[in-house]
Amino acid sequence: EPEVTQTPSHQVTQMGQEVILRCVPISNHLYFYWYRQILGQKVEFLVSFYNNEISEKSEIFDDQFSVERPDGSNFTLKIRSTKLEDSAMYFCACPKREVTDTQYFGPGTRLTVL
């Protein structure tokens, strides 16, 4: 199975602080997605990103969230001012090659906001 990696595996932060979650997708891929899973709830779509632009975002993805591709390989999800309700598992995913391919998920980053 293709490998998608994420760092850190666990992030603890104080409410109001900024956090940056990182994802290294399947090599040289242009598409990637972020999903969120609040503890005990289902996985929810946050945003899709293609070729340095957001292609779709959910209602959850408000102005506090942003995505970037800072260096051509890594993708980041930034939360500017974290809230308690941002505590969740964040997964990035990308298809193997084409946008129609199956999405492979990273291991996730568990974000805890205190």
Partner 1 sequence: AQSVTQLDSHVSVSEGTPVLLRCNYSSSYSPSLFWYVQHPNKGLQLLLKYTSAATLVKGINGFEAEFKKSETSFHLTKPSAHMSDAAEYFCVVRVGTSGTYKYIFGTGTRLKVLA
CB closer to partner 1, 9 vs 81: 9
The minimum distance between CB 100 and partner 1, in angstroms, equals 7
CB closer to partner 1, 1 vs 85: 1
The minimum distance between CB 111 and partner 1, in angstroms, equals 14
DSSP E strands: which ranges in the chain?
5-7, 10-13, 19-24, 31-37, 43-50, 53-57, 65-68, 75-79, 88-95, 103-105, 109-113
Q: Which residues contact residue 61 at a Cβ distance below 8 angstroms, ignoring those fewer than 6 apart? A: 46, 47
Lay out the sheet containing 19-24: strands in order across.
5-7, 19-24, 75-79, 65-68
Binding site for partner 1 (CB under 8 A): 1, 31, 33, 35, 41-45, 48, 50, 55-56, 91, 93, 95, 99-100, 102-108
101 neighbors 30 (Cβ within 8 angstroms): no
CB closer to partner 1, 15 vs 38: 38
The minimum distance between CB 24 and partner 1, in angstroms, equals 14
The minimum distance between CB 18 and partner 1, in angstroms, equals 24
